[in-house]
Each structure stands twice: as C-alpha cells, then as structure tokens.
Chain A
Amino acid sequence: QKEVEQNSGPLSVPEGAIASLNCTYSDRGSQSFFWYRQYSGKSPELIMFIYSNGDKEDGRFTAQLNKASQYVSLLIRDSQPSDSATYLCAVLTGGYQKVTFGTGTKLQVIP
C-alpha cells in the first residue's frame, strides 16, 4: 500500500463548477497535510495546509481532513481555467518526520 494515494485523473470539470480532489494516507501517526499545485513545466507550490480535523477555507479553496478515515480532500469552488494543473497531496508522516507526496491528480477546467 502506498503511503499517500491519489487518483491520477485527469479530472475534468466545467468552468464555475466545484472540483473535488481526494487523498488517502496510510500512516495514522501523520500530523500535517498539504496541497501543492504544479503547473506544467513548473515546480510545485504550496496552496493549502491543514493540521486539525474539519475544514479550512482560504478563498475559493477548502481543505478537509478526517483523521479517523485517514482522508484529506481539497475543494475548489468556482473553478477557473487557470486552476488547470496537477494537484499534489503531501503528508508529514510520523516517525522520521518526512514529507511524502502522492502521485498527483491532474485537473482540467473546461471553459
């Protein structure tokens, strides 16, 4: 079982819709959870982090964490074509305190 799993996509949504990106992780000792966005040919950039169960909102982005289910998600409201990118879920695992990435979900927002 991979430590961090994501559906590779592509996930296609129409402009203005809500995009929902999901991630599961295997280490119950994981403490912190991150979403990075990577445009084609660019380096990843951090867009959201969440440490506690529940929701965290930042503009059009909402991160959701459920530690009991070992599940973290990212919702993008009012999706724009500029949101088209690969979204990487990352987890700060217990033990060695290392950040582990999922393989990423490619999002396509159709105008």
Chain B
Amino acid sequence: GAGVSQSPSNKVTEKGKDVELRCDPISGHTALYWYRQSLGQGLEFLIYFQGNSAPDKSGLPSDRFSAERTGGSVSTLTIQRTQQEDSAVYLCASSLGLAGGQYTGELFFGEGSRLTVL
C-alpha cells in the first residue's frame, strides 16, 4: 500500500526480552518520527529522523531504547530488556520533510505496534 506500514501490529513479550518494531514510511518521505502512546495518554515523542541529519533522540526514555533508519527509508525501534512500563502503542509517522526549500509538517501515521510486556 501507499501508507506508512508498521510491524508487528501486536507483540506480547516477557519482561527482560528485547523487541524490535519496524516502520516502513511512505516512499519519498524524508522525515520519520516515532511516538509512544500509553492507554488514555497523549503522544510521547521518542525520536525524529530528517534526511541525512543526525537524529533527534531527545525523547528516548532510557538507554534501553534505540532506533535506526537504514538508507533513509525503513526504521527499526529496538527496546532492550523490556519492562512492564514499556507496554504501549508505538506509532511511526512520516512526512515529506524538506520540500521546495521549506519543511512540511503534515504527518502520516501508521496503524501502530501494540506492545504488551508481561
């Protein structure tokens, strides 16, 4: 499809295990964001990639969280040694980013990956 694709849609894991969440953005979108949303809460910013610039990692809650974006396209969010408080929906969004000399801010969201840590 032409939208943002995330996988897995659901992940149940045991405390202490590592998990990887994948995001495939819309083709041609240079900006990619990861957010976390706990039940009934707002969007918590995690990390932002824009083109070849160094990512803004200011929202990562601890060093157990890391993310990569390979070839300016697919991104993987890795959570090591998962804890119960990591249970949430992880949302990925992409944007055109720099277009026509200006940054655009219209974000297109994936369906999210629901993580449950037992």
Contacts and interface: CB of A to CB of B under 8 A. Distances in A.
B107 A46 contact: yes
Interface stretch (A18-26, A56-64, A66-74, A100-108): A100-108
Main SS at interface, chain B = strand
A34 B105 CA distance: 8
Contacts of A92: 103-105
A97 interface: yes
B25 interface: no
A97 B109 contact: no
Given A96-B56, A98-B56, A45 B109 contact: yes
A102 B42 contact: yes
B33 interface: yes
Contact of A46 (B50, B103, B106, B111): B106
Interface in A15-52: 31-32, 34, 36, 43-46, 49
26 contacts: A32-B103, A32-B105, A34-B105, A34-B106, A43-B91, A43-B110, A43-B112, A44-B91, A44-B107, A44-B109, A45-B109, A46-B106, A46-B107, A46-B108, A92-B104, A96-B48, A96-B56, A97-B50, A98-B50, A98-B56, A99-B107, A101-B42, A101-B45, A102-B42, A103-B41, A103-B42
Interface of B: 33, 35, 41-43, 45, 48, 50, 56, 91, 95, 98, 103-112
Interface of A: 31-32, 34, 36, 43-46, 49, 88, 90-92, 96-104
